[in-house]
Amino acid sequence: MRAGYLVLKINLLLVLMAATGSCSHYRMNPTTPHVYPAREKGCALTYLTKAPEDGKRYVVLGECTGKGMKGIVNNEFEAAHKQVEACACKHGGNAIILTNSYVQGGRDQYGNYLQYNGAVKALVIYIQE
């Protein structure tokens, strides 16, 4: 009976997590001199793992975070990267510097993975030509 209660509780948690879906978050850089105009949806972005070193000037516009999950109920973890891309375009960036990502998973009483939660963080920058 106790095992049945645990399975019911886990299933309820998964349904609630699926209902909330995924989200993105943007935090503006307070030192940015002005707001850059939004770019079109699906704009071309340069992916970087560190700041440009080739002498190019750039401005840090802010930081975007994308979140998603992958599991029995839904498969939105891949959407975390797309959320960051959409956020960067919306806030006028033409490049992103990936700063952090993580994945967490939960297991049931038999050791099987039930759900993966993850997030991707990136600095949104504008590289000046």
d(CA 36, CA 125): 10
Contact criterion met (CB below 8 Å) for 38 and 58: no
Q: Which residue has the tokens 């979140």?
A: 67
pLDDT value for 22: 43
pLDDT score, position 125: 94
CA angle 41, 45, 51 (to 5 degrees): 140
CA distance linking residue 91 with residue 70, whole number of Å:
27
Long-range CB pairs of 100-106, under 8 A, 24+ apart, other chains included: 103/77
Domain spans of the chain, in order of start:
2-127
pLDDT of 24 = 61
pLDDT per residue of the chain (129 residues) written in tens, 0 to 9: 455 444 444 443 333 333 334 446 777 777 776 678 999 999 999 999 999 988 889 999 999 998 877 665 555 667 788 899 999 999 999 999 999 877 677 777 787 666 677 788 999 999 987
The pLDDT of residue 5: 44
Query: What per-residue confidence (pLDDT) applies to 40?
Result: 94
